[in-house]
Amino acid sequence: MPNTQYDDNKVTDSDQTKVARKLLIWLGIHLAGYFLVTLVLVLLNFWLSPDDFWALLPILGWGSLLALHVAYVMGLFDIFHSD
């Protein structure tokens, strides 16, 4: 029969895995916030002033910051990583 006893030493995550998991969690929070606020802004825009699409400016501004966040999580900014 195989040994089914739980061993804490074999299941530990490395430090890189913990950092990567934390980065992905924060990216998910950032994405969820972006889409929620975008939905609210678009609904408010069409309700308050349907002839002028003013919600585009904050959507593009925050979207560009979100793109930088995605690039950072993907590791495209190697100057900030001290490997």
Residue 62 domain-assigned?
yes
Q: How many domains is the chain partitioned into structurally?
A: 1
**Taking all residues of the chain, what is their mean pLDDT, rounded to a whole number?**
86
Determine if the pTM surpasses 0.75: no
Long-range contact set of residues 15-19: C-beta below 8 Å, sequence gap at least 24: none
What residues make up the domain containing 66? 16-76
Distance from C-alpha of 2 to C-alpha of 24, rounded to nearest angstrom: 35
Between residues 36 and 80, the one the model is more confident about: 36
Residue 50 domain-assigned?
yes
Residue 3 domain-assigned?
no
Residue 68 domain-assigned?
yes
Residue 30 domain-assigned?
yes
pLDDT of residue 13 exceeding 60, the answer is yes
Residue 44 domain-assigned?
yes
Residue 45 domain-assigned?
yes
> Which whole number is the average pLDDT over 58-78?
93
